[in-house]
Structure 1
């Protein structure tokens, strides 16, 4: 029944009942029959378990999983090795039984979005030759009490039944976004997803590793800290595997996998892309290659060139170029702002600026592209302070030439404040090693203000000495809208030589 039909029916039903009462008809049998029909309909609907359907229904919906090998997943060598070791409990069942090892019941994959957790679950099913069933945590949450618990029971029942029908010894059930149903229980009023969690815990306790087919639960979450402790203990999710953002070697591996069906122009170097995409997830890297192919298509090129890849990185990071037209005054202000970032960056990290542009992209009116650096995971106090100064360079430049700031510095301030917070949490400030919650808010604000004031002063001191660079680079930037890193460095070096 369509939505319009339901609304007409709901509106017509009370009118009909009132009319029957008005003409003297006994409506009790009608009400009883309607209630009985609704009850039967609800029970049948619950048993059909929408979202966790049979294999035939999955094929009709296009949800049959496409299996893949671990070799087709790049950038996660450590996580894959740890997962394959855990999966050997399903493959080498007799060997581990002789050693008295208790097989695993559950494997929890944690990490940022887009790192390949779902792909690894599919590869696990292929590696172990298991039946694979997938569901999302949101599919178990309904407004009706008991529906989620019923779906959990049906999911486990279907896994066993499907494995028996296909003659396989094991089945893998994968639950994505498990934090939706596995969140911490607060001990208050009973909630629908508490019942769903209780049922999941019961089903996991009911998994007997000697029974055939054997069931393994795999789940993924971006927020492990939100999960109930009952899920995380041994005997439930025994193994926790971190699926982190890839390093440079991993990024290059991922790019190589996704580039197999894309034609590259001669001289195109994927290693440059791997260098420039620090902090990108596997999904973002796939997006870069896809966008590069789209750029090549727009230009009616048959091969993907290096410039297409560079533009694609900018698009994934900043968004698509916009047709937004800015007036000359606003464009000049943006130019001063971006030059402020670039000058500070080049002074504290020589050779770091690749390009300065005032071309609007996404929500940004301009941006500075930095040259790739080596992957870095540990930072000193001095390095964090330099990062904060680079972030403050834009607003300080506006103050120098306009006497005040604009709203364009909002994201810069967000980044700077986040880095100050990180310094406090890591004990790199005058507060020493502290627990944030134990420090009065006034003390935190005072420390934050002191750090920002000192770094703003140091940034202004650096920029005041380079006013000639602003003037010379501004002309090029306003005329061409793009200033290359090499030309920018020539102007900066000439200015520094004159000062010396």
Structure 2
């Protein structure tokens, strides 16, 4: 029917134009007005179709192409036991209605998940919907920001409206709205000119204030951010986001749990020791651990092997940490210099923390011409002054070795110095230097620079003195490293002990 109407209109319009021209009327203004009306109609239609965020996280114009969200169970998420416990306790306010009513508890309106990227904040939000048997609506903060003023605020209203309608349609008592990267729209408001971001944030605050905990379906806002300090204080107060849950990097036990989950569909050889992989991936997020197993499977496919081995997993850790091997060719002189540099790191590391070296390599990865992979220490979160100084000496070991054998440094020490400076800032900020307990921002730059130089110069001298005592190790290790390009931690320790004895 619509097709016939369109064809009739297309036939009538040219006839009308010819008749108007025959009557001597100037029809060009009429045509221009008609074109403008058509364009305006299309713009309004596009804004309306893009204004609503669907229950699967996309706009309403994309509902037909978006698959339903796959709900997860909390048991399928590893490495976040503390975060899961806090989150489940908060979600119980939606489930145990009689108990909370008896105690006079006000159900929470919002939960804020904070923490580094890749730690599983989105997964926890999806599992929350499964745990509470709720409708799950999701959106990203960037979806509310457009060049048209008022579009973001309109999309916020549509998001809440559609969550309620979908919950009613599916006869569910709860609905969870998940907003990822909320710092995009929830940043601190500044005085002066009104911004589109501010209008969107104001609308979100209004909608959260309008959530009545006695109404059904009940709406719960779950949001995620990597930058909590950027959020407006009006969002963080009780009555808006009542619970702030830290989703941090997993410890060794958590890494084991995550690796076991992602290894379920991977064929592992019987001698693979996942505990070693968990030890060597200190500081890895859940996303990085998943990538380690995926990259290991890719390495197995490259070598036409049907099972993943310990070697594949070790290569995958290097790939995730430093990038893929490159085809960069270095001349013999540069290669020797890189070998001395990396051996300097390795010797200092093994002396100050025995058993810490996992591998010394001259294979270029990413932007590095060589590298030393360390066995991470046991998980701990408090550092002493001596421990930080040892880490600074390890960072300076490469430059110190170059000074000993060449009398000068190279640009290869740039990243090492950046790491050393970061550790020095940690010392100063923790009150572990001669400056005492200070606010770094209030210390004059000259005084701060003098203290940094004093610390680094003293530790560089200690590092050079230490390496002077191990010159025979350089000579013996250099031949092996230049020939094989890779030296395992065990091989290196055997050489070190033989020469030291």
1:315-334 alignment, distance < 5 Å: 315-334=319-338
2-structure distance, mates of 1:31, 1:44 = 20
2-structure distance, mates of 1:380, 1:105 = 41
2-structure distance, mates of 1:244, 1:305 = 29
- 1:29 Cα deviation (Å)? 3.9
TM-score by length of 2: 0.92
Contact 2:178/2:223, CA 8 A, preserved across alignment = yes
- 1:107 Cα deviation (Å)? 0.3
Contact 1:248/1:275, CA 8 A, preserved across alignment = yes
Cα distance change on mapping 1:357 and 1:54 into 2, 3 Å: closer
Aligned to 2:83, what secondary structure does the other structure show? helix
Tell me whether 1:409 sits opposite 2:413 in the alignment. yes
1-structure distance, mates of 2:63, 2:485 = 52
- 1:194 Cα deviation (Å)? 0.7
TM-score by length of 1: 0.92
Contact 1:247/1:375, CA 8 A, preserved across alignment = yes
Deviations 1:211-255 (A, max 9, x none): 111100000000000000000001100100000000000000011
- 1:84 Cα deviation (Å)? 0.4
1:226-241 alignment, distance < 5 Å: 226-241=230-245
1-structure distance, mates of 2:401, 2:28 = 80
**Range 212-221 or range 32-41, more displaced:** 32-41
Structure 2 unaligned residues grouped into runs of 5+: 1-24
- 1:373 Cα deviation (Å)? 2.5
**Range 182-191 or range 62-71, more displaced:** 62-71
**Aligned with 1:432 (options 436, 449, 458):** 436
1-structure distance, mates of 2:26, 2:291 = 66
How many residues end up aligned between the 2 structures?
Answer: 476
Contact 2:259/2:274, CA 8 A, preserved across alignment = yes
1-structure distance, mates of 2:103, 2:494 = 69
2-structure distance, mates of 1:277, 1:216 = 35
1-structure distance, mates of 2:113, 2:225 = 7
Contact 2:52/2:158, CA 8 A, preserved across alignment = no
**Aligned with 2:262 (options 246, 258, 264):** 258
Cα distance change on mapping 1:303 and 1:51 into 2, 3 Å: farther
Aligned to 2:186, what secondary structure does the other structure show? coil
Tell me whether 1:186 sits opposite 2:190 in the alignment. yes
Deviations 1:353-383 (A, max 9, x none): 1221101112111111222421121110000
Q: Paired residue for 2:43?
A: 42
- 1:94 Cα deviation (Å)? 2.7
1-structure distance, mates of 2:99, 2:32 = 63
1:113-192 alignment, distance < 5 Å: 113-192=117-196
Give the RMSD, CA atoms, in angstroms.
Answer: 1.8
Q: Paired residue for 2:286?
A: 282
Cα distance change on mapping 1:323 and 1:98 into 2, 3 Å: same
Contact 2:385/2:427, CA 8 A, preserved across alignment = yes
Deviations 1:162-197 (A, max 9, x none): 111111111100000000000000112111111000
- 1:469 Cα deviation (Å)? 1.2
Aligned to 1:153, what secondary structure does the other structure show? helix
**Aligned with 2:455 (options 443, 451, 455):** 451
- 1:437 Cα deviation (Å)? 1.5
Q: Paired residue for 2:4?
A: none
Structure 1 unaligned residues grouped into runs of 5+: 1-23
Contact 2:149/2:196, CA 8 A, preserved across alignment = yes
- 1:34 Cα deviation (Å)? 3.8
**Range 246-255 or range 296-305, more displaced:** 296-305
Deviations 1:408-457 (A, max 9, x none): 11111111010001111111111110111111111111111111111111
Cα distance change on mapping 1:54 and 1:75 into 2, 3 Å: closer
Contact 1:46/1:150, CA 8 A, preserved across alignment = no
Q: Paired residue for 1:295?
A: 299
Aligned to 1:268, what secondary structure does the other structure show? coil
- 1:492 Cα deviation (Å)? 2.0
Aligned to 1:181, what secondary structure does the other structure show? helix
Contact 1:51/1:135, CA 8 A, preserved across alignment = no
Contact 1:169/1:212, CA 8 A, preserved across alignment = yes
Q: Paired residue for 2:497?
A: 493
Aligned to 2:223, what secondary structure does the other structure show? strand
- 1:289 Cα deviation (Å)? 0.6
- 1:57 Cα deviation (Å)? 5.4
Q: Paired residue for 1:336?
A: 340
Contact 2:137/2:163, CA 8 A, preserved across alignment = yes
- 1:132 Cα deviation (Å)? 0.4
Deviations 1:143-180 (A, max 9, x none): 11001011101101100011111111111000000000
Contact 1:134/1:173, CA 8 A, preserved across alignment = yes
Q: Paired residue for 1:33?
A: 34
